[in-house]
Amino acid sequence: MLLQDYAQVIRSKNSGPFELTIDIIFKSLEDYLFFKEKQLLDTDKVATLYQMKKEDIINFEYFEAARGIKITIPRPWSQGSIGESDMHGSQQYANLLTVEVPVN
């Protein structure tokens, strides 16, 4: 199965001109707890997916009230600069769509 099979929402957005925030909201509390307890998504995995150093991840936190994970990373290019291809940061979640996870 894939992460997208467990998640109700996977999205990314600007978190200022130099950062992106990625939200993963799970379909159920059970799915959220499964991911959290098994640490199926962590900073190592995010660093690999986004080709960055683990230490460069600004924030990675599980948030039970929302049944979700919030990740904040630096933008590859500052918003609106030359070479920047996603002004709103709304397409940066795509790397997470291929994350494989064991069946719960």
What confidence score (pLDDT) does residue 45 get? Answer: 95
Indicate if the pLDDT at residue 5 is higher than 90: yes
pLDDT tens for 31-64 read 999 999 999 999 999 999 999 999 999 999 999 9
CA–CA dist 65, 40 (Å, integer): 19
What confidence score (pLDDT) does residue 78 get? Answer: 85
What confidence score (pLDDT) does residue 57 get? Answer: 98
Q: Which one-letter DSSP state was computed for residue 66?
A: G
> Where are the extended beta strands (E) located within the chain?
7-14, 19-26, 59-63, 68-74
What confidence score (pLDDT) does residue 104 get? Answer: 64
pLDDT tens for 67-98 read 999 999 999 888 888 888 888 888 899 999 98
Question: Is residue 10 within 8 Å of residue 3, measured between CB atoms?
Answer: yes
What confidence score (pLDDT) does residue 24 get? Answer: 98
What confidence score (pLDDT) does residue 79 get? Answer: 87
